[in-house]
Copies of this chain bind each other. A is one copy, B any other.
Amino acid sequence: MPLPTSVTIAERRRLLRAALALARRSRAVVRHYMRAGFAKRLKADASYVTDADLAAERALRALIGRRFPDHGIVGEEFPPVNAAASFQWILDPIDGTLSFTHGIPFFGTIIAVHHEGIPVVGVIDHPALGLCYSAAVGLGAWCNGRRLRVRDVARAARSREVISASDRPRFVSCRRGQAFDRLMRTHPQVRGYADCIGHTLAAEGKIGATVDFGLRLWDIAATQVLIEEAGGRFACVHRSRDAGGDLYGVIAGKPSLVRWLERIFR
């Protein structure tokens, strides 16, 4: 079921086109640094930031500021802009910076538009894989021009579905260490496709579900619309705060599998 939104379909189309143009720009920036190399440093939260994160987010902010000067911007690497605006662009220039610095090609760029707190447009671009996932409320979910359709799974086939879970410390940080251990003991096919590739594999229906905890707003900003427009189920099952702000726990994928996981992780 599409999310309720008061944004007209014409406006959603326009925002989606703009988000896709932004993704093309950030992909070019990120690919430049993949070829040319980059400096990296540890941030206060012990995660990495590189020249590529900073340059990509700067490029995205410049384009948004020029085209939508009244819109707000929330991004991982710089302070918010127009915090009171109805439309907010939510940016993670490189989701999976640790992967990026190690050459693991499964990182992505996350670009989302929320209106009055409701996700309207979501894009996850994988620069190293050449795959761009996009969706807007009521307009379907797509990958490189191919429509995505998640099919639910029968109960009997559930054990053959791959579930991706993020690393254990993220669950512990949200007091879900025991639930994580229970999942590892209960389900035979738990894998750890870290970063946003777990979300895009779920939007394809290639994995049954992703269970991802210890996330910031920009990590999950595009996922709900992408999953729901593909016919899947998205559930935010946890919200807490630490020194860095709000922490979320989300589950996304095939509806019956997500409902089963919600019982474990609520």
Contacts and interface: CB of A to CB of B under 8 A. Distances in A.
Contact of A104 (B160, B168, B207): B207
Number of copies: 2
A138 interface: no
Nearest to A177: B185
A162 B102 CA distance: 9
Contacts of A206: 102-104
Interface residues of A, number: 28
A59 interface: no
Interface stretch (A4-12, A20-28, A190-198, A231-239): A190-198
B98 A189 contact: yes
A201 interface: yes
A167 interface: yes
A133 to B, nearest CB: 14
Interface string A163-183: 011011100000000000100
Contacts of A167: 188-191
A256 interface: no
Given A184-B168, A191-B194, A207 B160 contact: no
Given A162-B98, A189-B98, A204 B168 contact: no
B168 A207 contact: no
Contacts of A185: 168
A201 B104 CA distance: 8
Contact of A99 (B162, B165, B181): B162
A88 B102 CA distance: 35
Contacts of A191: 167, 191-194
Nearest to A160: B98
A188 to B, nearest CB: 5
Interface string A126-162: 0000000000000000000000000000000000111
A255 to B, nearest CB: 17
Nearest to A185: B168
Contact of A192 (B98, B104, B169, B192): B192
Nearest to A189: B167
27 contacts: A98-B160, A98-B162, A99-B162, A102-B161, A102-B162, A102-B207, A103-B204, A103-B206, A104-B162, A104-B201, A104-B207, A164-B192, A165-B192, A167-B188, A167-B189, A167-B190, A168-B184, A168-B190, A169-B188, A181-B181, A190-B192, A191-B192, A191-B193, A191-B194, A192-B192, A192-B193, A193-B193
